[in-house]
Amino acid sequence: MKKLLLCAALGAAALSASAVTPFLEFQPVQAGDHWTAFNFQGGFTGGVTKNIRLGLGVGLTEEWNFKHSPLIPFFGRFDVSGRLGSVNPFFSFDVGYELNTNDTDYGAVLVNPMVGLKFGNWYGGIGYLGHCWTQSGSGTTNCFNMKIGYNF
């Protein structure tokens, strides 16, 4: 337990010592099992090393016609970026939970790995969004998704 607390304290110190960067993202379409939605999300990341960032975020996911109650995703982010000539590729991995505002017993564990390119403060990427629904018998919803974002 002491080792876990020490690692958490060192991680927090590393994040607080680095610049914390807020981000805002839009996922124009995510679809699966006859459900099409959009997502706005934001949060912050902090640099652990020059190319590795860790962060936290929250968002809002809803159908285009607002027929259902929105889902609120809470997630942690691991982000690795680099430079290949004039191209700035990145890989990010989000993992978290989507809270259903209509029925809090029915949400989803979410996993979202993504690859993309950065253009100054703007970035865009494609990924795979997996939801493992917590209600018994609901199974999973999986789809490809795209994000457009901005780092402030």
72 lies in which domain range? 2-151
What gap in Å lies between CA 24 and CA 14, rounded to an integer? 23
Q: What are the pLDDT digits (tens) for 22-78?
A: 999 999 876 666 667 889 999 999 999 999 999 999 999 887 766 678 889 999 999
The pair of three-digit structure tokens given for residue 29, joined into one six-digit string: 């379409």
At 102, the amino acid letter reads N
Section 124-149 average pLDDT = 86
Total structural domains in the chain? 1
Contacts for 59 with CB less than 8 Å, ≥ 6 apart: 25, 39, 40, 41, 42, 72, 73, 75
Q: Which of 54, 60, 58, 59 is nearest to 21 (CA)?
A: 54
Q: Confirm if 41 and 30 have CB atoms less than 8 A apart.
A: no
**Confidence category of residue 3, pLDDT binned at 50, 70, 90:** low
**CATH number of the structural domain spanning residue 128:** 2.40.160.20
- Residue 16 above 60 pLDDT? no
